[in-house]
């Protein structure tokens, strides 16, 4: 009867519900359009209190569901229309066309396009096409490098695309996770991915790995009792959260939130709304471009107007204006900047740092704060036994790595007895002769116990053969205890482990080298302080105890004998302390922000050098205090703290915003889902490539392929070198362009022939400017960069000192060129075309030699980072060949309106072009002294 009647009822209910919805749409036209919006904004019940604060009876009642049968099909349809599908927010993909359009948003590119259009409008086709070619080349390079096939929201959504077991109409069935609705009864077991936020109704030895969401490495044991409303996410042990993984046991519960209303969905919202900051280099180049716009418009307009007013030919006046416009725009700047950044990206890739966005290369060089997660970033994300407390003595585990065949001292015997209990009271499995956790299966804490025992000669297989397990009393969150019973000849051996306070409550004796001694209350207090001492050092502490009974029917937790305590840690990654020390020398502040406990966070911070051993606890702030400090904008406290514990994703996001508001350039490292919003918000997000989740990698601007924190420091050094190189070639390009502006302007004001034609200027800008500048851009940089503090965040790419040098160099080069042209006309009797060739040649060679003026101060004339750069010499050789070809090869010379000046002309060109090189060094020293005196 049920088999026939049930489908009929389902069909009737479905038809009825669809009719009701259809009528609602007809009477309320907004309903249809608002269904999706409602689904996105209300994918959870309006409980009277948070679900973790409700008892299971209250939860079932408020969710209006029968816990023994689940929801009916009709109710599922109603709730799906009310709450929507169990999906995270979708974001639009960045299309190829959008990336292409972005390549033309630079002001410099817009200026070049305008100059090209102006040249074409006056029938100067060759010049117009040449400028347009520059734009196309730059766009092609930028487009090919910046295309990213990464989608942070796609990665988040893939986490939910799994199947789940649900109870509906009294039957268990497997459905897509997207079809879950609030109120569904869901069953989960070890290995399952949790697909929605679930309040537990049943749990049997249930544990979940929530490290990707909370940052805690150890699996979390689950229980059913209600928890305080204000409990942070990490303490809500009666909840299973979307995106986490069940590692042990089984459980069942009610879906209380789906889609965007889940904790994972909230992170998805933060990732989608945390807009990435524009990088410092982008800001500086845009600022520089804005200045160039003003220079171009004002100078070109004034010269054109003055020419027309003075009666000069209209076309000639416009031609001069175009020449000035072309001279004022460093056509090579976008190309050289793009290639220099790309070169840096490739260098970093060889060092296991994969860059997703070109400008992120430079951003690392300006970083003043690195905000780092703890688990998996500073630590190895695995539990390891490091310390023991046996017979009131604290012992290092490594001191007991023994040969099992060797003789044992009384202390070693006690340690092995302790570890034997840890092996027997254990559900993990360790392969024979295994020495790493990659060869083990099970709970990380239990795996750590097996590895520690194996290293001390206590083998799992031998222990199990000697004492076969009879039964297990599973771990219960309420008791915080676990026991296993084993056959021991004609008796039963009870192996017990648990929280120190819980074990001590049930112990009547303590094991020692001289035998078992009775425990008094004072002894228990002293032992508890020993356990707390391990916890204060950042160790997770377990107590181990045992007893022998005549049978397995005895109370397992009565009259136990304490064997000792085990301290476990998630150890710091090798090389992290050295990397953080390098950061300190480079003036970079390293801040740890983690969801873990304060004691653990503080200990790892001390191990890695983030905190000095003598630092006060005031420099460590927990999540509760952090919220208040952020709300009150307590700048001093936030600026001095080095460690933030029990922090939520929202707090990480706000903390990064605080640092950015204080003027810092922030790099954020992380590997978990909980890090994704902060990775996106930071000036540069850095994800771990091996242990990192797909969400973290998709949200980051840089991925470390080797998960080494030291790789970040190498990337910082590379970023600083790139910025120094960019500044050098910007100074070089601008000083060359300023010299061209002054040459044309001064000649025009003097009524002399135009020394340079627009197409000649464009040739110089693309040949004698670009190749040396490109060689500067790919240099290795100075060796002392990582001994200097980061540049101020507000410092412009070209400072007042650099502008002074640019103007001085430009004036020096322009005067040399004008003198050379005048000499050619007055002394050598050259006509205008030959004189223009002399000015062209002098300027070309002077700009080539000028690259050596870009050496650092102080440095030697012949031995410096510029002269030792092989790319510089290659660029000079290439440019010399092209310059000579422009004059000697007829096809080139006819287009550029040049003529071979003969030996006398070439001698004049070479001699005059060397003047800026010889005078450049003294001139820069003089300019810096003048600026220093002015500032004083």
DSSP state of 790: P
For residue 449, the 8-state DSSP code is H
- The DSSP call for residue 572 is B
DSSP letter (8 states) at residue 352? T
At a CB cut-off of 8 Å and minimum separation 6, what does 670 contact?
372, 373, 377, 676, 678, 679, 685, 686, 687, 688, 692, 696, 700
The residues with which 703 forms a beta bridge, in sequence order, are 354, 687
Distance CA 613, CA 607 (A): 9
Token pair for residue 810?
């430009």
Which tokens go with 236? 């809500």
What is the DSSP code (8-state) at residue 798? S
Structural contact between residues 457 and 404, judged by C-beta atoms closer than 8 angstroms: yes
Distance CA 539, CA 452 (A): 15
**Residue 20: which residues within 8 A CB-CB, separation 6 or more?**
none
Reference 538, options 597, 592, 580, 591; nearest CA is 597
**Backbone φ/ψ region at 817: left (φ over 0), alpha (ψ -120 to 50), beta:** alpha
Alpha carbon distance 356, 257 (integer Å): 34
Question: Sign (positive/negative) of CA torsion 187, 191, 196, 199?
Answer: positive
- Active-site residue flag, 373: yes
Using CA atoms, how far residue 351 sits from 149, 364, 371, 379, in Å, is 22, 15, 21, 21
CB contact set of 157 (below 8 Å; sequence gap of 6+): 87, 88, 90
Q: How many CB atoms lie within 10 A of CB 457?
A: 18
Phi-psi region of 445 (alpha: psi -120 to 50; beta: other; left: phi over 0): alpha
Of 902, 891, 920, 894, nearest to 841 by C-alpha is: 902
Q: Which of 169, 192, 197, 373 is labelled catalytic?
A: 373
In order of 386, 407, 418, 511, 564, the CA distances from 390 in angstroms are: 13, 19, 8, 8, 5
Which uninterrupted H or E stretch holds 911? Answer: helix 902-913
Q: Label the pairing between strands 684-688 and 702-704.
A: parallel
Main-chain phi, psi angles of 370, to 5 degrees: -110, 115
Cβ(124)–Cβ(326) under 8 Å? Answer: no
For residue 138, give every residue at least 6 positions away whose Cβ sits within 8 Å of its Cβ, in sequence order, or none. 103, 109, 334, 335, 338
What gap in Å lies between CA 368 and CA 841, rounded to an integer? 45
Which residue bears the tokens 């940089």? 781
163 and 176 in contact (C-beta within 8 Å)? Answer: yes
Sign of CA dihedral 495, 499, 501, 505: negative
Distance CA 747, CA 738 (A): 14
| Distance (Å) of CA 307 to CA 123, 321, 502, 642 | 20, 10, 95, 64
Contact assessment for residue 592 and residue 643, using Cβ atoms and an 8 Å cutoff: yes
With CA atoms as reference, report the closest residue to 138 among 118, 116, 120: 116
Angular region, 711: left φ>0, alpha ψ -120 to 50, beta rest: alpha
Residue 312 gets the label, from left (phi > 0), alpha (psi -120 to 50) or beta, of beta
- CA distance linking residue 761 with residue 328, whole number of Å: 10
Residues classed as catalytic: 373
């Amino acid at each position: 009867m049920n088999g026939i009647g049930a489908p009929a009822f389902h069909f009737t209910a479905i038809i009825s519900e669809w009719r009701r919805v259809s009528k609602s749409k007809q009477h309320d036209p907004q309903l249809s359009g608002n269904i999706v919006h409602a689904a996105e904004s209300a994918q959870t019940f309006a409980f009277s209190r948070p679900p973790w604060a409700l008892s299971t009876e209250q939860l079932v009642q408020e969710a209006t569901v029968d816990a023994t049968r689940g929801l009916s099909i009709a109710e599922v349809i109603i709730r799906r229309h009310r709450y929507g599908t169990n999906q995270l927010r979708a974001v639009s993909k960045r299309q190829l066309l959008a990336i292409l359009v972005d390549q033309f948003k630079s002001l410099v590119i817009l200026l070049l396009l305008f100059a090209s259009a102006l040249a074409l409008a006056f029938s100067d086709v060759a010049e117009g096409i040449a400028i347009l070619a520059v734009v196309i080349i730059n766009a092609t390079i930028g487009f090919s490098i910046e295309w990213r096939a990464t989608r942070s929201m796609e990665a988040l959504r893939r986490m939910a695309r799994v199947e789940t077991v649900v109870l509906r109409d009294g039957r268990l069935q497997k459905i897509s996770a997207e079809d879950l609705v609030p109120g569904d009864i869901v069953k989960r077991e070890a290995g399952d991915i949790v697909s929605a936020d679930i309040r537990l109704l049943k749990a049997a030895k249930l544990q979940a790995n929530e490290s990707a969401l909370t940052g805690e490495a150890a699996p979390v044991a689950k229980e059913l009792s209600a928890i305080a409303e204000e409990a942070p996410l990490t303490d809500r042990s009666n909840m299973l959260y979307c995106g986490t993984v069940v590692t042990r046991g089984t459980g069942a519960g009610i879906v209380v939130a789906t889609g965007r209303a889940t904790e994972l969905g909230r992170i998805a919202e933060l990732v989608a709304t945390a807009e990435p900051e524009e990088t410092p280099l982008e800001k500086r180049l845009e600022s520089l471009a804005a200045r160039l716009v003003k220079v171009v418009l004002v100078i070109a307009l004034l010269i054109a107007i003055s020419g027309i007013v003075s009666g000069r030919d209209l076309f000639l006046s416009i031609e001069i204006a175009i020449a000035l416009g072309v001279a004022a725009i460093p056509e090579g700047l976008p190309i050289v900047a793009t290639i220099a950044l790309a070169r840096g990206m490739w260098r970093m890739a060889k060092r296991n740092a994969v860059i997703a966005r070109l400008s992120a290369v430079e951003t690392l060089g300006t970083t003043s704060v690195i905000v780092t997660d703890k688990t998996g970033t500073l630590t190895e994300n695995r539990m390891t036994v490091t310390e023991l407390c046996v017979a009131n003595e604290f012992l290092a585990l490594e001191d007991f790595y023994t040969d099992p065949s060797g003789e044992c001292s009384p202390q070693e015997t006690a340690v092995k007895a302790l570890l034997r209990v840890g092996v027997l009271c254990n559900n993990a499995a360790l392969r024979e002769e295994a020495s790493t956790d990659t060869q083990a299966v099970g709970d990380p804490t239990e795996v750590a116990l097996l590895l520690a025992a194996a290293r001390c000669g206590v083998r799992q297989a031998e222990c199990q053969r000697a004492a076969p397990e009879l039964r297990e009393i599973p771990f219960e969150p309420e008791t915080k205890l676990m026991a296993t019973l084993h056959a021991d000849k004609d008796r039963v051996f009870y192996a017990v482990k648990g929280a120190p306070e819980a074990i001590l409550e049930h112990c009547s004796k303590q094991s020692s080298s001289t035998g078992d001694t009775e425990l008094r209350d004072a002894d228990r207090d002293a032992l508890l302080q020993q356990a707390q001492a391990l916890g204060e050092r950042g160790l997770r502490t377990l107590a181990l105890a045992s007893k022998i009974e005549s049978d397995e029917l005895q109370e397992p937790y009565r009259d136990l004998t304490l064997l000792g305590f085990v301290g476990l840690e998630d150890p710091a990654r090798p090389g992290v302390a050295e990397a953080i020390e390098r950061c300190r020398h480079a003036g970079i502040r390293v801040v740890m922000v983690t969801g873990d406990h304060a004691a653990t966070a503080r200990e790892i911070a001390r191990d890695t050098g983030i905190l000095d051993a003598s630092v006060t606890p005031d420099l460590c702030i927990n999540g509760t205090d952090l919220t208040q400090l952020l709300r009150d904008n307590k700048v001093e406290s936030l600026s001095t703290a080095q460690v933030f514990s029990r922090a939520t994703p929202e707090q990480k996001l706000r903390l990064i915003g605080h640092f950015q508001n204080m003027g810092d350039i922030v790099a954020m490292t992380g590997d978990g889902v909980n890090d994704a919003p902060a990775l996106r918000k930071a000036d540069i997000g850095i994800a771990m490539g091996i242990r990192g989740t797909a969400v973290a990698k998709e949200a980051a601007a840089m991925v470390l392929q080797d998960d080494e924190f030291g790789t970040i420091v190498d990337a910082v050094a590379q970023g600083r070198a790139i910025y120094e190189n960019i500044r050098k070639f910007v100074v070089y390009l601008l000083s060359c362009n300023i010299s061209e502006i002054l040459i044309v302007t001064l000649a025009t004001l003097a009524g002399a022939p135009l020394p340079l034609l627009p197409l000649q200027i464009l040739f110089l800008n693309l040949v004698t400017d670009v190749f040396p500048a490109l060689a500067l851009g790919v240099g290795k940089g100075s060796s002392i960069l990582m001994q200097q503090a980061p540049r101020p965040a507000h410092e412009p790419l070209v400072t007042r000192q650099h502008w002074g040098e640019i103007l001085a160099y430009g004036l020096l080069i322009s005067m040399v060129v004008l003198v050379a042209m005048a000499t050619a006309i007055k002394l050598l009797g050259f006509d205008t075309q030959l004189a223009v060739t002399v000015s062209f040649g002098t300027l070309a060679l002077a700009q080539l030699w000028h690259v050596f003026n870009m050496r650092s101060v102080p440095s030697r004339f012949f031995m410096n980072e510029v002269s030792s750069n092989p790319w510089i010499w290659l660029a000079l050789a290439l440019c010399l060949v092209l310059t000579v070809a422009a004059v000697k090869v007829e096809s080139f010379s006819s287009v550029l309106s040049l003529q071979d000046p003969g030996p006398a002309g070439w001698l004049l060109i070479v001699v005059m072009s060397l003047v800026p090189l010889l005078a450049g060094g003294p001139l820069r020293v003089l300019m810096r002294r003048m600026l220093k005196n002015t500032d004083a």
